[in-house]
Amino acid sequence: MMRATAAAAVLARSSPGALDFRRTAAIRRVPASSRGLAVSPTARLADRAGVDGEEAARRGASVADATLEPHVSASTSGARSVVDPSLAALKGMRFEELESWLVGVGERPRRAAQLFSWMYRRGKLVEDFDAMEDVSRSFRDTLGSIATVGGDLELDSIATARDGTRKVLYRLRNGGGVVESVIIPSNKGQGGRTTVCVSSQLGCAMNCQFCFTAKMGLRKNLTAAQIVEQVVHARRLTGGGGGADARAREEITNVVFMGMGEPLHNVDAVLAAVDVLTDPRGLAFSRNKVTVSTSGLVPEMERYLRESSGSLAVSLNATTDEIRSWIMPINRKYNLERLLGSLRENFPRQGAGRHQRHVFFEYILLAGINDSDEDVERLLEISRSMPCKFNLIYFNTHEGSEFQCSDEATIKAFRRKLVDGGAMATIRASRGDEEMAACGQLGSPDAPEDWKPAPPKLPKPRRMRE
């Protein structure tokens, strides 16, 4: 309940027309036991939910200053269950990895297609091996003793707003807290879509000064299985993927990595998850419709562009190093020149579809911080140097935030000047998706009193203090 209240508070203070979970009478909270996910024994979870030494060490990785050292090789649990490492986590495996694993346990590799189908195809999306009807009883028994298909998440609660947007909270089975997915239906008219926004970490080390999630620091990387399961469960919640009419069943069409965490700070797990999501033998999302958003971890971004066919978005949010290094400390490690230089080298993206020829910049408008005419001019300069699009985003202020959203007239004028200058620019419309348009915007991960020690609040640039 604490968590839902915190989330509601964030949403309730959002931009005009935004979702208001606090006011809506239609809000429903659904106990985990009545939904698709099994609930693990409370006692076992309670043991794991506390702040331990490992977590404290991770919090030490919070970005505070130029000494940032991202966890380039942040470990994930790979394809092992985080609850019982003796079990293989099938949802953490790419198709080929599943084939190899099957061979390793004395089975035929072609069973990988069978398992992928039961885990990921419409109308299946099974939660346990027993539901795999055309798999022999003996193989199901074997699987049950050496692997898990559950995804290592436990459903905590679901809150549904009047417009159908659903906030889905998951408790990590390996403890430490709760992560959030948001399902945003937008199925009106041609080109309608339903997007699921997934988390990649519990908390985040990047310490963006405007971000709610940043306040808890980094507590845990999610595994590929935990990321994939958020999408599978979203598909279950939207009609189980069955039925002929995609619109009627709110088919999940898009996946964005814009929930809690900096996805590329957990790059191994995210690369694996994107591969699973876009595999045509499984969930089969278009590579153009799976988007990873980064705050600007340049080496990991370059690796993602090399190794993945998924789409990329970059949270820009400032046009000078002075401002960006203040509001996004990652800029102290990889400044604008480094970030933009890398993007210029990599875009238009080789071998990618038309949709991926442009860099997608997200730009949260903060009143008096990054919304001046000079900012417009600098964005236009960027747009002349590489193929790109700007998504202008309303900022959702939250408790303790020193930032305010630019007013609507300013935002519209900002966009107009960009378009008149020849850039492509859109304003995220006022539905659920602008509430979570930049990573971490909707984080409601846990009771704030558990987040201490919070990462430091960074001082304004000297010029702005005088």
Binding interface with ligand SF4 (CB under 6 A)? 204, 206-208, 211, 213-214, 260-262, 295, 438-440
Q: Which position among 197, 388, 405, 439 bears the catalytic label?
A: 439
Q: How far is the CB of 453 from ligand SF4 (least distance, A)?
A: 16
- Identity of the amino acid at 348: P
Active-site residue, selected from the candidate residues 99, 180, 262, 434? 180
d(CA 198, CA 322): 31
Given phi > 0 = left and psi -120 to 50 = alpha, else beta, which region is 341? Answer: alpha
32/392 with CB nearer ligand SF4: 392
User: Is there a catalytic annotation at residue 180?
Assistant: yes
Instruction: Indicate the residue type of 418.
Output: L
DSSP secondary structure code for residue 239 in this structure: T
- Measured from the CB atom, is 238 or 319 closer to ligand SF4? 319
CB of 293 to ligand SF4, least distance (A): 8
Q: Which is nearer to ligand SF4, 150 or 440 (CB)?
A: 440
Q: How many CB atoms lie within 10 A of CB 357?
A: 13
Q: How far is the CB of 261 from ligand SF4 (least distance, A)?
A: 6
Cross-strand pairs, 362: 315, 391
Query: Where in 122-177 does DSSP place strands (E)?
Result: 147-148, 153-160, 166-172
Cβ proximity to ligand SF4, 250 vs 262, nearer residue: 262
Nearer to ligand SF4, 67 or 86 (CB): 67
Structure tokens at 410: 């300013």
The minimum distance between CB 325 and ligand SF4, in angstroms, equals 14
| Joined tokens for residue 327 | 């509001």
Cα torsion 14, 5, 447, 228 to 10°: value is: -70
Smallest distance, ligand SF4 to C-beta of residue 213, A: 4
Active site residue 405: no
Q: 389 is written with which tokens?
A: 């699009």
Q: Residue-wise over 65-102: b if at least 16 C-beta within 10 A, else e?
A: eeebebbeebebbbbbbbbeeebbbbbbbbbebbbebb
When CB distances to ligand SF4 are compared, the closest residue is 440
Catalytic residue IDs: 180, 439
